Amino acid sequence: MNKDAETIRILVVDDERDIREGSERILSRMGYQLQTAARGDEALEIFAKVRPAIVLLDLKMPGMDGMEVLQRLRVLDPSLLVIVITGYATVETAIEAMKQGAYDFIPKPFEPDQLRIVVNRAAEKIRLTRETQKLELEKTRTLADLDTEKSRLRTIIESLPDGVLVTNTTGQVVLLNPAGRKVLKLGSETAPGRSLEDYLPDEDLRRLVLEISKGKHVDFEDIPEKEFTLADGTTLRALAQPVLGDRRECLGAIVTFLDITSLKELDRLKSEFVAKVSHELRSPLSTIHEQLATVISDLVGTEPQQHMLTRAKEKTQTLISFIGDMLDLSRIEEGLICREPRPVHLEELLQSIVEFLSVRAKAKNQSLTIEVAGRDLPEIEADPVALESIFGNLISNALTYTPEGGRIRVELDRTGINLRVKVIDNGFGIAEKHLGKIFDRFYRVKDEKTRYITGTGLGLPIVKGLVEKLSGIIEVASTPGEGSTFTVLLPVKS
């Protein structure tokens, strides 16, 4: 059975009952839905009710002539397929009927197969027409959807609270939303279409956006966030990323802007507050510490009291170091440290730190060695106090977080434009989950091994702050139970 047949209605109009019944039998078996009429007026009535897609129409009937029925049907439904049934004698009439818009004709009397072929051909045409209409409809719908989607996306971008700027592959700005224009303090006349200089005052950011636009960073890796300040003092944070097409080809860059002026101000006030409080606490604490030292040295005999006061003295010492660290951090933030760079012989500086700390190493039965690769390493242009703080902290940590009898090695060599210092220990190591956090303020790893070790959690933040001030990089690699390696790269000319 023809699958499409069930949905196609056929009306057979013929005054001969044999033809009507014969056609009905044959076509019903093929799955078509059949209606029959013996006269023209009856045919028009049924047509109005059931709306068949195909009409088999005898041209010679009593009453309304077949040709007139054909004309009327065509007016009612121009897409209707009319197959004219006609005797041999009236082939000319059939041709005339075709001219009037009949689709096909079948001579009378016909064989069942002839009827099947003619009707199937008409059904196929209907199927194809329906298919085409469906595709057309889908196409129109998709286009309409796309259009709505496009304008919806545009509306969303236009209403985003964050500034958005998009470039093409040549770095030309192709989109800038109202929030972007506002945050960059651009007038409404700065419509998209110009080059980056007209929108971004920060040269560093412009260079980055241009690089991304031209296809660098398509892997989204190592794209730095940029902060910059506008002429009126507003501080903005910009995040740039590539825009990729279906085949991951670069189509340009997208930059989002966030106004962080108030966050910066809050940060500044916080640092100022911490610095003030630390400063105020330091002198009285130092006095208490000294007084305790005097009392202890004058105390004779009474063991428990001496023990108590010694503990108190240790605690004040811890507090004094803590306050010292806080003040150091504030100074780094304010840029008060590393302001006096001068040529430093890094090998000598490391040697003297190692020498100074070797007393502590000996006390724990640890080996502390230094290895320098290559001779005549260049001097480094930096503040020696900052360098002492960096490597003093790292080596001191290595001694602290390595058990008795462990090995600590300091390596110095040159790699490209940098001097590289590695502080390697075979101590406790640091679990993966802590590695990203140990440079955060006050972060300390608390586990079975480190539980009894006192500290402030400020050493590594100070080290990182100083390394960055010297335009360097610090990295850490560590395996729990095997040890840690802290690597510092410092440019020879900072």
Binding residues vs ligand ADP (CB under 6 A): 397-398, 401, 425, 427-430, 438, 443-445, 450, 455-460, 484
Closer of 378 and 436 to ligand ADP (Cβ): 436
Could you give the residue ranges of the DSSP H alpha helices within 160-202?
Answer: 178-183
CA quadruple 459, 465, 467, 472: dihedral sign:
positive
CB of 389 to ligand ADP, least distance (A): 11
Q: CB-based contacts of 458: which residues, under 8 Å, 6+ apart?
A: 322, 325, 326, 328, 329, 441, 442
Q: 90 or 478: whose CB is closer to ligand ADP?
A: 478
Which parts of 102-185 are beta strand (E)? 104-108, 163-167, 173-176
**Angle, to 10 degrees, between the axis of helix 459-469 and the axis of helix 303-333?**
30
| Smallest separation (angstroms) from ligand ADP to the CB of 370 | 16
Q: What letter represents residue 7's amino acid?
A: T
Smallest distance from ligand ADP to CB 487, Å? 12
Cβ proximity to ligand ADP: between 422 and 444 the closer is: 444
User: Could you tell me where the DSSP H helices lie in 12-90?
Assistant: 17-29, 40-50, 66-76
DSSP summary character for residue 422: E
Which CB sits closer to ligand ADP, 20 or 464? 464
Sheet holding 418-425, edge to edge: 367-372, 407-415, 418-425, 483-491, 473-479
Taking the CB of residue 90, how many other CB atoms lie within 10 A of it? 18
Beta carbon nearer to ligand ADP, 127 or 444: 444
> CA-based angle 70:83:59, to the nearest 5?
50
State which residue, 251 or 320, has the beta carbon closest to ligand ADP.
Answer: 320
* Rg over CA atoms, the chain: 45
105/401 with CB nearer ligand ADP: 401
| Strands of 33-37's sheet in order across | 33-37, 9-13, 54-58, 81-87, 104-108
> Which two three-digit tokens encode residue 279?
């400063």
Instruction: Dump strand ranges (E) for 75-141.
Output: 81-87, 104-108
Least distance from C-beta 191 to ligand ADP, angstroms? 50
Tell me the CB-side half-sphere exposure of residue 85, using CA atoms within 13 A: 23
Q: In the complex, what is the shortest distance from the CB of residue 422 to ligand ADP, in angstroms, rounded to a whole number?
A: 12
Q: How far is CA 464 from CA 194, 394, 422, in A?
A: 40, 11, 14
What is the C-alpha to C-alpha distance for residues 67 and 78, in angstroms, rounded to an integer? Answer: 15
Of 248 and 446, nearer to ligand ADP (C-beta) is: 446
Least Å distance, CB 395 to ligand ADP, is 9
- What's CA 286's distance to the chain center, in Å? 52
If the CB atoms of residues 58 and 425 are measured against ligand ADP, the closer one turns out to be: 425
Residue (104 or 325) nearer to ligand ADP, CB: 325
Q: Which CB atom, from 36 or from 397, has the smaller least distance to ligand ADP?
A: 397
Q: By C-beta, is 26 or 460 nearer to ligand ADP? A: 460
| Dihedral in degrees, nearest 10, Cα atoms 44, 45, 49, 54 | -30
Nearest approach in angstroms of CB 421 to ligand ADP is 14
Nearest-CA neighbor of 460 among 490, 433, 486? Answer: 486
Hey, what are 160's tokens? 């985003």
Given the complex with ligand ADP, which of 86 and 478 has the nearer CB atom? 478
Please name the helix (run of DSSP H) or strand (run of DSSP E) that holds residue 319, with its range, or none. helix 303-333
Residue 209 contacts by C-beta under 8 Å, 6 or more apart in sequence? Answer: 167, 171, 196, 200, 240, 253, 255
